[in-house]
Chain A
Amino acid sequence: MSESIPVFLAAVVAFALAMYIALDGFDLGVGILLLTARKEADRDRMVYSISPIWDANETWIVLAGVTLLGGFPVVYGTLLPAFYVPLVLMLLCMAFRGTAFEFRFQTATGRKFWDYAFSLGSLGASVCQGLVAGGLLSGVRTEGGHFSGGTWDFLSPLSLLTAASLACGYALTGAAWLNHRTAGSLQRRARIVAASLIPCFMVLASLSAFAAARAEEKIGARWSMALPAFGLVLGIAFLCAGLGCRLLLARGRERGAFYAAEALMLIAFAGLGATLWPYLVPYSVTIWQAASPAGSQLILLVGVCVVLPFILTYSAFAYYVFRGKVEAVEPFGAEGSAGEVGAGD
């Protein structure tokens, strides 16, 4: 029993991260694509499509973080200093992005500035998360259970590749979301962008996988020796999801295409997880070595099991309330809207 609690709790961290990638991923993606829309009315609609839900999406990364803090404090205390620069940058980007939601509604003349803040913030946050993923794959130097590497250890060709992959993947799901939730010319453009981002993401993610296997022999050994069958299944699933997404886009199956794009991201995430397993600080501290006392882990686990069904229910409800194609609905007291759009869609 005491052997399996850390595994369950690590599964909670993985689940929270997967939710984060799936949900905040697409709203970060919408942010990345924001500046590609030339018309302000289009940009307004893009932001409206995610305004009511982004905050809940972003909360999943906080859940992953505090589960690490409570369940695996050694990991929290080792990885966060190791990724000091990308994490602080990510937080600053998220700060600008999150406030831009509120501020851009309040100004007609300065809306362009907050659009830049929103878009660059989204791109920056995505890139930083990708850098952390690459840094994890390259391994973190530790000594006596403490981080002992340098400030720039996270930076490598591999981490640049993972950063590009993640930003590209987020943009892909963002485009698929816009295709699903908007209409008219905005939707048409989103569909073209999504279709062209599918191969980009698949190539970048595959390159990252090969680069990781070359850079770290443990990774290559793991996939060729221990998990060849799983690797094959994952690879086939990845291809199928990519092809499926392309086909569904072409056939105008908007919701299906969005789900397929999400599946593509989650398969890539599963690959990352299987590569790092069972390490939480690669490649020195395992799940069991990092576990906090059983009492603390159990409290967290029980809390998650009791509350998570409610969270999933009312989060789904919030999505349901704001379903359908986006019309330009101004929130209370917004200034100078760009006029009526979306009517007649």
Chain B
Amino acid sequence: MKLDAELLSRLQFAFTVTFHIIFPSMSIGLAAFLVLTEALYLRTRDELYVRVYRFWAVIFAMGFGMGVVSGIVMSFEFGTNFSGFARTAGPVIGPVIGLEVLTAFFLEAGFLGIMLFGWERVGDRLHFLATCLVSLGTTISAACIMVVNSWMQTPAGVRWESGSLVVDSWWHVVMNPSYPYRFLHMLMAAWITASFLVAGVAAYYLLRGSHTGFARRCFSMGLGAASLLLPLQIFLGDVVAVNVIAPHQPAKVQAMEGFWETTPSAPYNLVVVPDQEGQRNRFSLSVPYLGSLLVTKTLHEPVPGLRETPRAEQPRMSPVFYAFRLMFLLGTLMFCVSVYSLWLRFRGRLYGARGFQRFVMLLAPSGFLCVLGGWYTAETGRQPYVIYGLLRTADSVSPVSAGSVLWSLTSFVVFYGILLAAFLYFVRKVIRRGPVDAPAMAHPSGTVKRVFMPRAAQQEREEAA
């Protein structure tokens, strides 16, 4: 492997997208959580929910900011580093991302200010609307970008015409074979990520014995959401891998399972040391029959191996295999934890089981790791193509010098490193400080009309009240 512009551009994209995806996963999930919290507050008028909201809104805001600035980078990189991809796929993905900007980015940006700074200015019904619209924006954004990525995985609705792609059917571009399932899979992943984050931080307070009321509420909400979502997510993940990816991207599933030869009564590989050159595994550690059972739902049917795919079309096995193992095993562990939390809840011991709480605290970042594992599986498993079967990654790289890309990659590593360190430092600080005792809502009966009142009249009325 030569350190050329292609490899460096791929490393840079991998680095910047890895950094980026952490934050949308968190903000999509936390936005939905904040909607739920504010809805519960408006229903019950229990001030505890306001504290929950304000605490998580701070972390949401920081994550959202990180997501915005690192997201803009991604859209520029399509052009700066992968201009071949931009030229070929621009007519297809450009309008989709354009609609994402129009419907999602502006919506989020337009109402984020009101959501974070405006509770005192607009009254709580309009504030709730702002929270809902920000959350809707994050969800639309995910829906659009998953169209783009799913289309890159399982392209449909286009044909070649004089060296670039022309859309035959926008319906087929959007509803490409993997889209609906992968979108739901990602959305659930974001919600679960937030659930475990909320529960994990709550567990920290429970163990310390501080902010107990707040912590119990968060612990219960986080684990409750996780218990609802994880069974669905495991089912969806199975549908994505077996029913969607296997028929459309066979090489990816072959690499995911870690076999070179198609293997009947296949074991489940836990560790493999693949030899890509020799097309074999140097070593493997596995559980008998479990592979066939998981992939085919039978004990004896064969699991396909990577040699079924011609060599020039194969992804590298190790990143696909290990990324998938990370997601699958950690996801299974999270599933077990959420089931056990249901058991504890029914026994009324959810807030007393300290060992369990310690474990949940450790699992606070588990959602992020699963998301990364899933994305690495999807993206490395698509290689050597950038648009599966249509455009190779090697043909999509920009005519820029390796030196420029080396410079930009280094800069991204250094500056993103500083930003991530700052982000973690500030999140830690916010968590250490704990929920601030928010005063009761200043205006319990706000309406849209308030906004249109002149400021002076508004202040007068407040002073009178």
Q: Are B117 and A76 in contact (CB under 8 A)?
A: no
Q: Are B72 and A314 in contact (CB under 8 A)?
A: no
Q: Which of B70, B89, B398, B436 counts the most chain A CB atoms within 10 A?
A: B398
Please tell me if A338 contacts chain B, counting CB pairs below 8 Å: no
Chain B positions within 8 Å of A314 at CB level: 106-107, 110-111
Q: Are B90 and A332 in contact (CB under 8 A)?
A: no
User: Measured between alpha carbons, how far is A77 from B94 in the docked complex, in Å?
Assistant: 12
B104 to A, closest residue via Cβ: A59
Chain B positions within 8 Å of A299 at CB level: 95, 99, 170
Q: Are A303 and B110 in contact (CB under 8 A)?
A: no
Docked complex: A171-223 residues within 8 A CB-CB of B: none
Segment at the B interface, from A32-40, A144-152, A225-233: A144-152
Query: What size tier do the contact residues of chain A reach?
Result: 35 or more
Chain B positions within 8 Å of A79 at CB level: 79
CB distance from B461 to the nearest CB of A (A): 16
What mask results when residues 301 to 345 of chain A are scored 1 for a CB within 8 Å of chain B, else 0?
A: 001100110010011011011111000010111010000000000
Chain B positions within 8 Å of A322 at CB level: 113, 117-118, 121
A143 to B, closest residue via Cβ: B399
CB distance from A16 to the nearest CB of B (A): 9
Q: Are A87 and B166 in contact (CB under 8 A)?
A: no
Known contacts A92-B412, A308-B102, A332-B57; A77/B95 CB under 8 A: no
Q: Are B78 and A69 in contact (CB under 8 A)?
A: yes
Chain A positions within 8 Å of B112 at CB level: 52, 55
Q: Are A69 and B412 in contact (CB under 8 A)?
A: no
CB distance from A241 to the nearest CB of B (A): 28
Chain A positions within 8 Å of B120 at CB level: 329
A73 to B, closest residue via Cβ: B90
Docked complex: B69-103 residues within 8 A CB-CB of A: 69-70, 72-73, 75-76, 78-81, 83-84, 86-103
Q: Are A333 and B118 in contact (CB under 8 A)?
A: no
CB distance from B11 to the nearest CB of A (A): 14
CB distance from B82 to the nearest CB of A (A): 9
B97 to A, closest residue via Cβ: A66
CB distance from B394 to the nearest CB of A (A): 16
Docked complex: B112-138 residues within 8 A CB-CB of A: 112-114, 116-118, 120-122
Q: Are A333 and B55 in contact (CB under 8 A)?
A: yes
User: Measured between alpha carbons, how far is A65 from B422 in the docked complex, in Å?
Assistant: 29
Give the total of B residues in contact with A, Cβ under 8 Å: 83
Main secondary structure of the interface of A (DSSP, over half): helix
Please tell me if B333 contacts chain A, counting CB pairs below 8 Å: no
User: Measured between alpha carbons, how far is A95 from B70 in the docked complex, in Å?
Assistant: 7
Q: Are B87 and A77 in contact (CB under 8 A)?
A: yes
Segment at the B interface, from A100-108, A156-164, A250-258: A100-108
Chain A positions within 8 Å of B438 at CB level: 332
Please tell me if A122 contacts chain B, counting CB pairs below 8 Å: no
Chain B positions within 8 Å of A52 at CB level: 112-114, 116-118
Chain A positions within 8 Å of B423 at CB level: 99, 103
A72 to B, closest residue via Cβ: B90
A304 to B, closest residue via Cβ: B102
Q: Are B80 and A151 in contact (CB under 8 A)?
A: no
Q: How many A-B residue pairs have CB under 8 A?
A: 255
Chain A positions within 8 Å of B284 at CB level: none
Q: Choose one: B72, B110, B122, B451; the contact of A94 (CB below 8 Å).
A: B72
Please tell me if A74 contacts chain B, counting CB pairs below 8 Å: yes
Q: Which of A65, A102, A317, A335 counts the most chain B CB atoms within 10 A?
A: A102
A147 to B, closest residue via Cβ: B399
Q: Are A77 and B76 in contact (CB under 8 A)?
A: no
User: Measured between alpha carbons, how far is A332 from B59 in the docked complex, in Å?
Assistant: 10
A56 to B, closest residue via Cβ: B109
User: Measured between alpha carbons, how far is A115 from B415 in the docked complex, in Å?
Assistant: 16
Q: Are B114 and A321 in contact (CB under 8 A)?
A: yes
Please tell me if A85 contacts chain B, counting CB pairs below 8 Å: yes
User: Measured between alpha carbons, how far is A280 from B411 in the docked complex, in Å?
Assistant: 29
Q: Choose one: A81, A96, A300, A335; the contact of B95 (CB below 8 Å).
A: A300
Q: Are A59 and B105 in contact (CB under 8 A)?
A: yes
User: Measured between alpha carbons, how far is A69 from B97 in the docked complex, in Å?
Assistant: 9
Known contacts A76-B79, A299-B170; A84/B408 CB under 8 A: yes
User: Measured between alpha carbons, how far is A264 from B99 in the docked complex, in Å?
Assistant: 31
Please tell me if A62 contacts chain B, counting CB pairs below 8 Å: yes
Q: Are B72 and A318 in contact (CB under 8 A)?
A: no
Q: Choose one: B110, B399, B407; the contact of A311 (CB below 8 Å).
A: B110
Please tell me if B430 contacts chain A, counting CB pairs below 8 Å: yes
Please tell me if A273 contacts chain B, counting CB pairs below 8 Å: no
Known contacts A51-B117, A69-B78, A331-B61; A151/B403 CB under 8 A: yes
Q: Are B90 and A95 in contact (CB under 8 A)?
A: no
Q: Are A106 and B78 in contact (CB under 8 A)?
A: no
Q: Are A78 and B93 in contact (CB under 8 A)?
A: no
Q: Are A96 and B66 in contact (CB under 8 A)?
A: no
B398 to A, closest residue via Cβ: A81
Please tell me if A278 contacts chain B, counting CB pairs below 8 Å: no
Q: Are B94 and A69 in contact (CB under 8 A)?
A: yes
Please tell me if A129 contacts chain B, counting CB pairs below 8 Å: no
User: Measured between alpha carbons, how far is A292 from B414 in the docked complex, in Å?
Assistant: 37
Q: Which of B102, B121, B416 counts the most chain A CB atoms within 10 A?
A: B102
Chain A positions within 8 Å of B62 at CB level: 99, 102-103, 106
Please tell me if B441 contacts chain A, counting CB pairs below 8 Å: no
User: Measured between alpha carbons, how far is A322 from B94 in the docked complex, in Å?
Assistant: 33
CB distance from B424 to the nearest CB of A (A): 12
Please tell me if A126 contacts chain B, counting CB pairs below 8 Å: no
User: Measured between alpha carbons, how far is A52 from B122 in the docked complex, in Å?
Assistant: 14
CB distance from A153 to the nearest CB of B (A): 12
Chain A positions within 8 Å of B117 at CB level: 51-52, 322, 329, 331
User: Measured between alpha carbons, how far is A300 from B404 in the docked complex, in Å?
Assistant: 33
Chain A positions within 8 Å of B66 at CB level: 99
Q: Which of A148, A151, A296 counts the most chain B CB atoms within 10 A?
A: A296
Q: Are A81 and B94 in contact (CB under 8 A)?
A: no
Docked complex: B405-439 residues within 8 A CB-CB of A: 407-408, 411-412, 415-416, 419, 422-423, 426, 429-430, 433, 436, 438
Please tell me if B44 contacts chain A, counting CB pairs below 8 Å: no
CB distance from A26 to the nearest CB of B (A): 16
Docked complex: B206-252 residues within 8 A CB-CB of A: none
| A-B residue pairs in contact (CB < 8 Å), sample of 8 | A69-B90, A70-B91, A70-B94, A79-B79, A92-B415, A102-B65, A333-B430, A335-B433
The 9 closest A-B pairs by CB, nearest first: A70-B94, A73-B90, A52-B113, A80-B79, A77-B83, A56-B109, A292-B91, A296-B91, A69-B94
